[in-house]
Structure 1
Amino acid sequence: MKKQKLSFWEIWNMSFGFLGIQFGFALQGGFMSRIFQTLGAEKDAIPLLWIAAPLTGLLVQPIIGYLSDRTWSPKWGRRRPYFLIGAILSSIALFLVPHSPALWIAAGFLWILDASINVSMEPFRALVADKLPESQRSYGFVIQTLIIGIGTWIASNLPWLVSKLGVSDSAVQGVIPMSVKVAFAIGAFVFLVSILYTVFTTSEYPPEDLEEFEREKRESKNTFISDILGNIGSMPNTMIKLGVIQFFSWFAFFTMWSLANPALTEHVFNTPAPIESSYNMSDANDVLLFDTANTAFQKSSNLVGSAMGIYGLSSMAFALILAFYTSKKRINRKYVHLGSLILGGIGFLAMYYASPENLKYCFILIGIAWGSILSMPYAMLSSSVDPKKMGVIMGIFNMFIVIPQIIAALGGINFVSGLLGDQAINAMTVAGISLIIAGLCNLLITNKNAITYQLNE
């Protein structure tokens, strides 16, 4: 089927739902560790509490990709039903997460939230490949990255913003501050509305041969596991090489999401989370000291969240530059990705020397890497796989995202950063080294069509 070139606004509409998805991911990535710490988690236990996120991605994304490849509704299309189901579940989970009364409940809500976000997110990657001709693929993924950057920046600043509007950062021991609760409620609303916007403004191409589509679907009804395993076993070399890059890239970013808050509140702001067992909570003076330290930690956590939001703003600017360039000219995806990841690695390494005033510059560099991670690997992959299997291939490709996160959560971060010492900031150094390794691994990519494609055909 010859696909029609789309205008900027048509691509914007089909990608707009990612604003809500990124609200969910940014609030989760920026503030779940803070919620865990507020509920009593020690910093060494935080990565394991995060294991819900990659485990659900490992299970959900290939399944949703497989199912969406085999879905067709004349009214709702192929991918949009999954956007909508995931949005409803994610919005409910986002609202409830900061109301968790205990650590195990917060960890359980993270499972639900991440699974729901993945139901919406995975088909969005496939939608770009479904809708756009080859010549607009890089452009489409870059526009998607632009919207993700907007969502990351706004959502990461929400607790700080609502605090500035007068909502309290203070709370008794073991209770999430109202500023965080309000921020997550706003995120839930934005998630649902932005997905609805894409669902109702975007159409999808039907299968080229509907009868053949239905026949293949019936024949494959009982072959789900074998089909997934078959596609894993027949991965193109380019996909495997991109998987190596993804492994080191996502090890770095999972390290940031899970440990940036304890690392930066402790090392940069000098306001670590107070440990209740260090205080005599039956003594009024100790209670006052605990409350003072906890309020200082909550306020510096707001500032860490705002600083993290800079990487969303930076990735947005990077994506905007790429969008203008790729709309008319071709790029060398391999070298763009290589350079971007190395810059991000330098940003992580610089955190060891950062002050509260210059921490934002570290996240500017990290944002360049993030903008590239969200576009270049997918653009390279989509040029080297069977378009009929785009959903399941994208789902399988995301295994290279979740496996490094599982390894990190099961002790990988604590082990590797422990080799450098017991300071929390060492985790950010490990993230920097990992991202630089990911950048250099781009030298493995040799498929010419994956590296560059003539975009103005």
Structure 2
Amino acid sequence: MKKKPLLSFWQLWNMSFGYIGIQFGFALQNSNLSRIFETLGAKQDEIPALWIAAPLSGLIIQPIIGYMSDRTWNRLGRRKPYFLTGAILASSALLILPNSPALWVAAGMLWMLDASINITMEPMRAFVGDMLSDEQRTQGFAMQTFFIGAASIVGSMLPYLITNIAGISNTAPEGIIPPSVRFAFYTGGIIYICAVLWTIFTVKEYSPEEQAAFEGHETEAAAKEGDELILNTKKYYTSGFIYLIAGIIATIIIYYGSWDKALYILSIGVGAYGILKLVTAQFYVGGSRTGLVEIIYDMDNMPGAMKQLSLITVLTWFALFAMWIYSTSAITSTKYNMKVDKAVVDTMRSNIQSVLSRPAIADSTKKQFETLQEDIKEIDKYRPNDNPVRISVNLSNHYADSTNTVFSATNKMELKRVQKEYNDGADWVGVLNSVYNGVAALIAFLLPVIARRMTRVKTHFVCLLLGGLGFISIYFFGSPKLLIISMIGIGIAWAGLLTFPYAILSSVVPQKKMGVYMGMFNYFVVIPQILAAAILGLLVRTAFNGNSIYALVLGGISMIIAGILMLFVKDEKDKV
């Protein structure tokens, strides 16, 4: 069996350069899509439903694209046709999306953008496993981590830079997306296609014959394909019915319990997996050995280390989604002074009740004041005896408005102070996000060196431990500036989780199924996203008494548990 040649630094650079484009797409999407939806008339409670494209696209598309790319070889190569297809579609979506004339068009373009990013991204992760020997894979994924961190910073800041450097306006008439956002998306579309083309033209893939010579004949269950597959159809029928019934029962419980709608994705997904197992067994009996049969077989026969990494990944990404959902709320409410005298809140309550009790009230006004009333109810529920008492930015924005006559000039000055505190805090959260991405980009090159001394498993344990402590420290640090220390720990964990799980995974899965298993691994990134959106809101409202800072503490505990579990991972091709 031949050994893959070691690649130079610049060869590793070229191989992962396309990730700049992918991350620009993600950064522009994550930073601006809610703003675009709201501009086009989406209501606040509709935005999460519009964002559901991301997890659904990843769940469905990545394993299919992975399976297809494992079996592709043409003039462009094995993975490159998918790089190019995804890049063309994603760049087109980035150019069209900011010109959407209506909300439904923007929502459709988001689905196209996210699906296209997935088409590019999954084969690009498998590409590292294809091109590098085991001893260089940590370096290869670390290079991707560097590009992810660096591109995240620039991509997120792009509208700001376009406004402040190019002088392009960041405001527009109602219903029109600001020019700065449009030009940011145009720039991102160009960068996306150019970065991916750079990787396509500067890196030559190994042919199937060369890969076979490098890897030899793999015999573990996960490597079997075609006529080698042996399915216990009785077991598949039984487990299929169990999954189907469990999914139906869970869906009914979610419906009658009025639980978060995001949980439907999980319950329906469990039921759908049961149906797929039943269909797979039927296809197998009918003589089929490829396509769906092979994908479901592969899912059931994941290597042992991949199963271990799946739980670790769920716990780790749960922590990150907790931060992305609640960091602004947690930091502004605890590190910045958003409190006013209780008498101000009493006046707000009286005014809201007065307006809502009018016999004739416009629907828009009614909805506006009902939202304000919910904020007052939150104060009454969680902070009834506080004085001064923390208020929401929604209340301060409404009553500090120059056209509002409820409060005196002195009280309005106090409410404007609360506005400024919130906006200063929200701006600082943006800075903190840049800090952890910057740390990840810088430390990425150190991780392979440390891993050679400590092993990948132990190095990732340390990364996750530091990240978990970083999350928990947010609760204890009083000064916003000290949160930079927290973000350093989180940045180290971010670098680790973008590097080590994929490096280990690429070492334990069969080479000829690198794509499909990389795609399946994405399930364990999507599942915690759904769980975080559904469960954390319930916990904040009940167990945490409205204090979102505890969601970050819970995220830290989750990440530390993931780190401990990491110590039990077998970083080798071995059944656990």
- Give the structure-1-normalised TM-score: 0.83
CA–CA distance in structure 2, aligned partners of residues 49 and 276 of structure 1: 28
Q: Distance in 2 between matches of 1:391 and 1:124?
A: 9
Shift of 1:383: 1.7
Report what 1:385 is aligned to: 509
Alpha-carbon shift at residue 64 of structure 1 (Å): 0.6
Structure 1 residues 34 and 257: CA distance shift in structure 2, 3 A: farther
Secondary structure, aligned partner of 1:444: coil
In structure 1, the residue matched to 2:500 is 376
For 1:269 and 1:137, locate their aligned partners in 2 and report how far apart those are by CA, in whole Å: 44
Indicate if the aligned counterparts of 2:303 and 2:573 stay in contact, CA closer than 8 A: no
**CA 1:183–1:247 in 2, change beyond 3 Å: closer, same or farther?**
same
Correspondence for 1:305 among 411, 425, 430? 430
The AA in structure 2 aligned to 1:226 is V
CA distance in 2, matches of 1:279, 1:178: 30
Query: Counterpart in 2 of 1:334?
Result: 457
Q: Which amino acid aligns with 1:428?
A: L
**Following the alignment from structure 1 to structure 2, what is the Cα–Cα distance between the partners of residues 39 and 296?**
28
Sort the Cα spacing of 1:154 and 1:100 in 2 relative to 1 into closer, same or farther, 3 A: same
**Counterpart mapping for 1:38-49 below 5 A:** 47-49=48-50
Maintained 8 Å contact 2:24/2:152: yes
Corresponding position: 1:322 with 2:468: no
Structure 1 equivalent of residue 535 of structure 2: 412
2-side partners of 1:162 and 1:111: how far apart?
A: 26
Distance 1:11 1:28, change over 3 A: same
Could you say if the C-alpha distance between residues 268 and 146 of structure 1 is closer, same or farther in structure 2, counting changes exceeding 3 Å?
Answer: same
Tell me the equivalent position of 2:561: 437
Residue 469 of structure 2 corresponds to 346
Q: Alignment partner of 1:374: what SS?
A: helix
Contact 2:457/2:571 (8 A) holds in 1: no
Deviates more, 1:170-179 or 1:198-207: 170-179
Q: Distance in 2 between matches of 1:184 and 1:355?
A: 35
Question: Counterpart in 2 of 1:237?
Answer: 304
SS in 1 for 2:7: coil
Q: Deviations over 1:319-361 (max 9, x none)?
A: 12124556xx454111211121122223233334465544433
* 1:55 correspondence with 2:53: no
Inter-partner Cα distance in structure 1 for 2:419 and 2:156: 20
The percentage of counterpart residues that share the same residue type is 46
Q: When the two structures are superposed, what TM-score results if normalisation uses the length of structure 2?
A: 0.67
For residues 263 and 374 of structure 1, the distance between their equivalents in structure 2, rounded to whole angstroms, comes to 25
Q: Is the 8 A contact 2:337 2:418 kept in 1?
A: no
Alpha-carbon distance, 1:207 to partner: 0.5
Contact 1:157–1:309 (Cα < 8 Å) also in 2: no
Q: Which residue of 2 aligns with 1:27?
A: 28
Q: Does the aligned pair in 2 maintain the 1:413–1:427 contact within 8 Å?
A: yes
After TM superposition, give the deviation of residue 69 of structure 1 in Å: 0.3
Residue type of the alignment partner of 2:88: I
- Tell me the C-alpha RMSD between the 2 structures: 3.8
Q: More relative contact order in 1 or in 2 (CA 8 Å, sep 6+)?
A: 1
Quote the offset at 1:43 in angstroms.
Answer: 6.8
The 5 A counterparts of 1:3-14 are 3-14=4-15
Give 3-state SS (helix, strand or coil) of 1:180's partner: helix
Q: How far apart are the structure 1 equivalents of 2:99 and 2:328?
A: 20
The aligned counterpart of 1:454 is none
Q: In structure 1, what is the Cα distance between the partners aligned to 2:549 and 2:104?
A: 26
- AA aligned to 1:247 is V
Deviation at residue 68 of structure 1 after TM alignment? 0.3
Relative to structure 1, is the Cα distance of residues 174 and 285 closer, same or farther in structure 2, using a 3 angstrom cutoff?
A: farther
Distance in structure 2 (CA, Å) of the matches to 1:36 and 1:224: 37
Distance 1:296 1:100, change over 3 A: farther
| Partner residue, 1:119 | 119
Q: Give, in angstroms, the shift of residue 317 of structure 1.
A: 1.3
Aligned residues: 441
Contact 2:447-2:496 at 8 Å conserved across structures: no
2:290 is aligned, of 196, 215, 223, to: 223
Q: Measure how far apart 1:303 and its partner are.
A: 4.8
Equivalent residue, structure 1, for 2:520: 396
Larger Rg: 2
Cα drift, residue 276 of structure 1: 12
- 1:400 Cα deviation (Å)? 1.3
- Relative to 1, partners in 2 of residues 1:440 and 1:407: Cα closer, same or farther, differing over 3 Å? same
TM-superposed CA distance for 1:252, in Å, is 2.0
Match of 1:91 in 2: 91
Q: Hey, what's the Cα distance between the residues in 1 that align with 2:169 and 2:327?
A: 23
> What is the DSSP-based 3-state SS (H/G/I as helix, E as strand, rest coil) of the residue aligned with 1:375?
helix
Kept in 2: contact 1:43–1:259 (CA 8 A): no
Task: State the shift of 1:18 in Å.
Answer: 0.6
The match for 1:247 is: 314
Q: In the alignment, what sits opposite 1:366?
A: 490
In the superposition, relative to structure 1, how do residues 417 and 184 fare at CA in structure 2: closer, same or farther (>3 Å)?
Answer: farther
Rate the CA distance shift 1:335–1:33 in 2: closer, same or farther, 3 A: farther
Query: Quick one: structure 1 residues 241 and 12, their matched pair in 2 at CA, closer, same or farther if it must change by over 3 Å?
Result: same
Deviation at 1:29, TM superposition (A): 3.1
Residue aligned with 2:54, SS: helix
Give the whole-Å Cα distance in 2 for the aligned partners of 1:346 and 1:35. Answer: 35
1:81-134 Cα offsets, whole Å, 9 max, x none, are: 111111122222234444556665544433222211111000011111101112
Distance 1:69 1:449, change over 3 A: closer
Change (3 A) 1:222 1:345: same
Q: Aligned equivalents of 2:394 and 2:102: distance in 1?
A: 17
Tell me, in whole angstroms, the C-alpha distance in 1 between the residues paired with 2:105 and 2:422: 22
Greater Cα offset, 95-104 or 398-407? 95-104
What's the CA shift string for 1:133-189, capped at 9, x where partnerless?
Answer: 122111211122122221122223323333432444445566554443333332222
Residue correspondence of structure 1 range 221-300 to structure 2 within 5 A: 223-261=290-328, 263-264=330-331, 274=394, 284=403
Q: Structure 1 residues 134, 302: CA separation in 2 closer, same or farther (over 3 Å shift)?
A: same
SS at match of 2:77: coil
Aligned equivalents of 2:71, 2:301: Cα separation in 1: 20
Matches of 2:104 and 2:397, distance apart in 1 = 19
Distance in 2 (alpha carbons) for counterparts of 1:169 and 1:356? 27
Residue 48 of structure 1: CA displacement?
4.6
